[in-house]
A and B are shown apart, each in its own frame.
Chain A
Amino acid sequence: MIEALFGFAAMFALMALRVPIAFAMAAVGVVGIALMRSVPAAFSSAATEIMDVASYTLSVVPLFVLMGNLVTRAGMSTELYQAAYSFIGHRRGGLAMSTIVACAGFGAICGSSIATAATMSRVAMPEMRRFGYDKSFAAGTIAAGGTLGILIPPSVIMVIYGIMTEQSIGALFAAGVVPGAIAMLFYIGTAWNCVRRNPALGPPGERTNWAGRLLALNHIWGVIVLFMIVMGGMYGGLFTPTEAAGVGAMGGFLFALLRGRLTFKVLLEVLTESAQMTAMLFTILIGASIFANFVNFTSLPQDLQAFVSHFNVHPMMVVVAICAIYVILGTAMEELSMILLTVPIFFPLIVHLGLDPIWFGVLIVCIVEIGMISPPVGMNIFVISSLLPDVPTSSIWKGVMPFLLADVLRLALLIAFPSITLWLPKFLNL
């Protein structure tokens, strides 16, 4: 137990020195294993973890990252926004609600929150400005809506959680669908409630007639086809997740190509960007795996289980406690590293208590969503504030607060009723 605590302390000290989190984890892991076992054991474990990232199963990560980056360049976000707008844009706060619906739609073909928020701010912000929306409310809506990207499948975070804990990626994706829909409805409800209290926040847009609506729907066929092929193929038993990701990336490539958005230069840019993103993610994965090996040599996971059994804590209380720890840690730490760092400790506990690992995975994704829009470190907020220089960060924080409340409510709902999450994977027999 004490070794693990020393390990964590050393890691936080390195992090405070601005050593990247991935390298801090790797260094502490190697030294820890060397001290507890032997130097050759530490070296061999490190070398194995480094080489293990070049595996077939893990190729699902770069392929989904690439798919997301390609569909972002294909510019499908504009059509999604227009389709949502044509149905609900004429209502009070309708543009904000359209933004949320479009974010959810984009999340269905893109597995990244940051990409979703960034692409939507380019499309939705000019429209909301045109109709005189409150800037803080508009930016907050986009920041919150963007987080739907990782809950609605495909989702890069779910893939990484699935690999780390050896859970079915297909089941995780299916488990994200209903909570994703609930998240979207909660966000729409939040937007509705905000404008009900203060109508000046979001004036109504123009009404679209049915001919216009059908035309707008007609324009999003690309998104629907891509989603159907990738997800349908996976659940129809046609593809494995890796194959689905490859087909999805190819689909994104073809769309971008057919829409004339892909010059050779742009393609090279997208590919390099995706490769760098992959290398960055996998560096964290290598560091976290080495660190996890070290933690598994310590008695921390068993001590924690013994502690929980000794005091006869109700499993639900444990989950609530873990979620609370995550939400607090998540305000200060980058979410992916936080999860990879703590999964080796918490995951065995969850399994030990007989809780469902798929359900826990979805809770973790919801917590990551909260972390992405909660102060002081929220990636989505930073991305949007860099794209909208005239909206001060503090005002985005203010705008996102009601949505953060909706997130916490949703998390409580999902903790209280695991069947909401687990219904679809069970129905699909995953």
Chain B
Amino acid sequence: MNAFKKLLGAGAAAALFSMMLLTFADVVGRKVLNESITGSVELTELCMLGTIFIAMPLVSLAGEHVIFDLLDPILPASLQRWQRVISNVFCSVLVLGGAWLIYGRASRVFEDGDTTAQLQIPTGPFIQAAAMMLLVTAIMHAVVAWMAFRDNVAATPGAEETNS
């Protein structure tokens, strides 16, 4: 899992770093040398795609999404553990739906053979990759839900009943 996290982190970092270099080089090229980088806008968009969708599973795994936790002090700990299971299952299903939607869109883009305007890069594979990352994100939520569930069972006396 750690190696996997590092891999995703490096991927997102590379996309963001390229975006920074690209924007900077484009500005310098245009203002100083009077020559812009061909397709810099579409390349930036691909970097954006990479930055956001590669980092998404990491955010889910680390539980960094903003939640409303004002009720925490008044809810009993056992209930909160179940909240973690339920909310992560919910997120997992929702993101899975998102992955399916984006995958469908990618297939249509493939059929149409869409490419970016200037560099003629086919966009289908990138959208498909985004769908894959959403799938990974959904799996991450499922993993978090499973871990919370296992902790629950370990913490709850009479675990057999809750298992059924």
Contacts and interface: CB of A to CB of B under 8 A. Distances in A.
Contact of A51 (B13, B87, B105): B105
Contacts, number: 178
A136 to B, nearest CB: 22
A279 B41 CA distance: 20
A115 B31 CA distance: 32
Interface in A1-37: 14-23, 26-27, 30
Interface string B26-66: 11000100000000010011111101111110110010111
A46 B90 contact: no
Interface in B53-99: 53-56, 58-59, 62, 64-71, 80, 83-84, 86-87, 90-91, 94-95, 97-98
Given A51-B102, A62-B16, A62-B19, A18 B69 contact: yes
Given A18-B67, A271-B12, A250 B62 contact: no
A225 to B, nearest CB: 15
A238 B31 contact: yes
A47 B102 contact: yes
Interface residues of A, number: 57
B152 to A, nearest CB: 14
Interface in A360-402: 376-377
B8 to A, nearest CB: 9
B55 A15 contact: no
Main secondary structure of the interface of A (DSSP, over half): helix
Closest 8 CB pairs of A and B: A246-B23, A271-B13, A20-B65, A275-B12, A279-B55, A275-B55, A272-B9, A54-B49
Interface of B: 9-10, 12-17, 19-24, 26-27, 31, 41, 44-49, 51-56, 58-59, 62, 64-71, 80, 83-84, 86-87, 90-91, 94-95, 97-98, 101-102, 104-105, 127, 130, 134
Interface of A: 14-23, 26-27, 30, 43, 46-47, 50-51, 53-56, 58-59, 62-63, 66, 238-239, 242-243, 245-247, 249-250, 253, 267-268, 271-272, 274-276, 278-280, 282-284, 332-334, 336-337, 376-377
